[in-house]
C-alpha cells in the first residue's frame, strides 16, 4: 500500500509500485513510474517520461525528468530511466534525453549529492558518487564506481572511466581513463586511485599490472599506436585489459599527467629563509 501526503499532486496516470511514500508538496506528472519502495521527501518534482526502479530515495527539492537545457529541445523530448537503490539528495536535477528516441540513464546504488546536475543524454553507471554541485553537461558517460568530488564540471561528450576519482573543482574537458586520480586544482592526472582500488577489493597483483599499464600509457614515450598495440599484447585479461578498449574508444582526447620536471626536487626551507617568528619557535 502506497502513502501519498494530501498536499501532493500525483497524476492518476502515474504508476506507483508497492510501499511507495510521497511526502508533502510533491508533484508526480503523467507517464511516471515509481518502483516498489521509493521514497519522495517534500517538494520533489517527478516529470513526465521518468521511470524509477525499486528503493530509490529522493530528497527535498530534487527535480527528476526536467526538459533539456538545449536550444534544439522541441515539444517532444526523451526519457529518464533510473535503476534501483539510488540516493538523490536535495535540489539535485536530472534531465531527460534531448529527442524522443534518446534516454538519460542512471544505474543502481548511486549517491547523487546536493545540487548536482546531470544533463540530457548522460549515462551514469552503478555505485558512483557525484558530490555536491557536480555539473555534467550533455552526453557524458560516468562508469561504475567513479567518484566526482565537489563542484567538478565535465564538458559534454566526455567519458569518466570506472574507479576514477576527480578532485574538487576539477574542470574536465577530455576523457578520464579508468582507475586514475585527477587533481582538482590542475585538472591533470596524478597517478592511480590506489586507495579506491584497495577499498574495492583489488589485490596486489591487479594493482601491480595497473601500475605497469599506467607507466606504459603516460611515461613510456611511445607513439600512440604503439601504446595501444602493447596494451593489447601485454594485458589480455584482468582489470588492466580495460585500458585498451577504453583508449581506442576516445573521441575527445585524454587527460594528461601532471609531473614535475625530471631531476627536480622539492626545496626544504632553511632557517635563514624562515620568518622570524617561525625561526624563534623552532629554536625554542
As a whole number of angstroms, the distance between CA 63 and CA 95 comes to 8
Cell 577504453 belongs to residue: 246
Q: Rounded to an integer, what distance in angstroms lies between the CA atom of residue 49 and that of residue 100?
A: 10
In the residue annotation, 120 being an active-site residue is answered as yes
Query: 123 - beta bridge partners?
Result: 105, 141
DSSP-assigned letters across all residues of 161-222: -TT-EE-TT-EE-SBB-TTEEE-TTT-SEEEE-HHHHHHTT--HHHHHHHHHHHHHHHHS--
What lies within 8 Å, CB to CB, of 122 at 6+ separation is 104, 105, 136, 138, 139, 140, 141, 142
C-alpha span between 282 and 270 (Å, rounded)? 11
> Measured between alpha carbons, how far is 119 from 273 in angstroms, rounded to an integer?
51
In the set 66, 138, 150, 170, the catalytic residue is: 138
- One of 91, 95, 117, 120 is an active-site residue; which one? 120
**Can you tell me whether residue 122 is helix, strand or coil?**
coil
Q: In the annotation, is 270 catalytic?
A: no
Which residue is catalytic, options 49, 91, 95, 121? 121
Is 125 part of the annotated catalytic residue set?
no
Closest C-alpha among 137, 153, 144 to residue 110: 144
Catalytic residues: 120-121, 138
Amino acid at each position: 500500500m502506497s502513502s501519498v501526503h494530501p498536499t501532493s499532486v500525483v497524476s492518476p496516470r502515474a504508476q506507483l509500485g508497492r510501499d511507495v511514500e510521497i511526502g508533502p508538496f510533491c508533484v508526480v506528472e503523467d507517464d511516471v513510474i515509481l518502483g516498489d519502495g521509493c521514497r519522495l521527501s517534500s517538494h520533489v518534482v517527478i516529470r513526465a517520461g521518468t521511470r524509477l526502479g525499486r528503493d530509490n530515495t529522493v530528497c527535498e527539492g530534487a527535480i527528476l525528468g526536467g526538459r533539456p537545457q538545449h536550444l534544439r529541445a522541441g515539444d517532444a523530448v526523451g526519457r529518464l530511466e533510473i535503476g534501483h537503490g539510488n540516493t538523490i539528495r536535495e535540489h539535485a536535477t536530472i534531465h531527460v534525453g534531448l529527442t524522443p528516441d534518446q534516454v538519460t540513464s542512471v544505474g543502481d546504488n548511486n549517491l547523487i549529492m546536493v545540487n548536482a546536475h546531470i544533463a540530457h543524454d548522460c549515462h551514469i553507471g552503478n555505485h558512483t558518487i557525484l558530490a555536491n554541485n557536480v555539473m555534467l553537461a550533455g552526453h557524458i558517460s560516468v562508469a561504475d564506481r567513479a567518484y566526482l568530488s565537489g563542484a567538478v564540471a565535465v564538458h559534454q561528450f566526455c567519458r569518466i572511466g570506472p574507479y576514477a576519482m576527480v578532485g574538487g573543482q576539477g574542470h574536465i574537458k577530455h576523457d578520464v581513463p579508468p582507475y586514475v586520480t585527477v587533481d582538482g586544482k590542475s585538472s591533470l592526472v596524478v597517478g592511480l586511485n590506489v586507495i579506491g582500488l584497495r577499498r574495492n577489493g583489488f589485490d596486489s597483483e591487479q594493482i601491480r599490472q595497473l601500475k605497469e599499464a599506467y607507466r606504459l600509457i603516460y611515461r613510456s614515450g611511445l607513439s600512440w599506436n604503439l601504446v595501444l598495440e602493447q596494451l593489447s599484447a601485454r594485458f589480455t585479461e584482468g582489470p588492466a585489459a580495460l585500458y585498451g578498449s577504453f583508449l581506442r574508444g576516445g573521441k575527445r582526447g585524454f587527460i594528461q599527467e601532471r609531473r614535475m620536471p625530471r631531476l627536480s626536487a622539492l626545496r626544504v626551507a632553511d632557517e635563514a629563509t624562515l620568518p622570524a617568528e617561525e625561526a624563534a619557535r623552532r629554536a625554542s
